[in-house]
Structure 1
Amino acid sequence: MDIVTAIKARRAVKQFDPSHRLTESEVDTLLSLAMLSPTAFNIQHWRFVLVQDPQLRDAIRAASWMQSQITDASLLIVMCADLKAWEKQPERYWRNAPADVREGILAAIDAYYRGRETVQRDEAMRSCGIAAQTLMLAAQALGYDSCPMDLADFGEVGRLIGLPEDHVIGLFVAIGRGVREPRPRAGALTRDEVVRKDRF
């Protein structure tokens, strides 16, 4: 499926076939594509928690408004990010770059993130969102449906998955075989309502 078709066809599907399973190869493909998503300074701070334990899924569902996608989708990914990835051996993100480029980037990373917790969190959320969209479009291209999800007690979900203190949850992505066509689009805004030229 070409990317334009995937973008037009992708919808947030709420009902999944609970008996369907993705193959290991399909999961590997999805994750490999998600890991091509861009991040600022190439710090790749997203972390993907694949929730496979049925009891853990039940507990996450209980902490997430009892949304059926959590237990019924073939694949549930908790999209997380390491808020401190910028200072954890950042040279590894630029190991293939020339030394002078690497040193310049490392200095810029430190200057941009150090002491700026809001920037660290904002960048984490942006990166999770970009990676989630990549996952959903990749799933669509493979013939699967998906749903980006929040409506959760992320503090409780973090406790359930053992989220480290310096990490944050951005959202969930549920992927699988939908069993019901999504409803018609509820009401897209017009281009005039959302596009501005130069200034508001």
Structure 2
Amino acid sequence: MIFKKTDLEDAYIIELERLGDSRGFFARAFCENEFANHGIDFSIVQANTSYSAKKHTLRGMHYQDKPYQEAKLIKCTKGAIFDVIIDMRMDSPTFKQWEGIELSEQNRKMLYVPEGFAHGFMTLEDETEVYYPVTQSYTPGAEKGIRWDDPAFNIQWPAPAEIVSEKDESWPFYENTVDKELRHQL
């Protein structure tokens, strides 16, 4: 496994270290020891799959409140996505910064999303599937989100969003409510 730091504190792009021969290749997609060597405690308690039928479907930006914050390991198993994370940790040097990366079945990259980050993605192809183990169980009362088009972050999506759920359209803008909620948690 090849860990590459992103511009955001504690987030990594993970590439497979392939051992190939005439059959194809073998690679570890997860290793507790490799994660620990990078200072990451990643104990999987739930794994999720997302399927989107249409290109330019947008999902996000989601996170869970303390004490139910979750880390995620995002992998696109079919199709392609533009995956976006926002550092929502007020004590982080990269607080309120975002980063986007293309994950696809072709590039086989993964994105490690630390606790305290908002996460979302846009599909770049029809019939896209995403698989992601997480470190916390889904907790409905702790579920939060911010608008995917929030001017506080100015995320540069690769295309206009064509399909967005009502729930994701109804998340608040950061400056209106989220900032106050985060400050209250400190």
TMscore range, shorter length: under 0.3
Is the helix fraction higher in 1 or 2? 1
TM-score normalized by the length of structure 2: 0.24
Is the strand fraction higher in 1 or 2? 2
Query: Whose RCO is larger (CA < 8 A, sep 6+)?
Result: 1
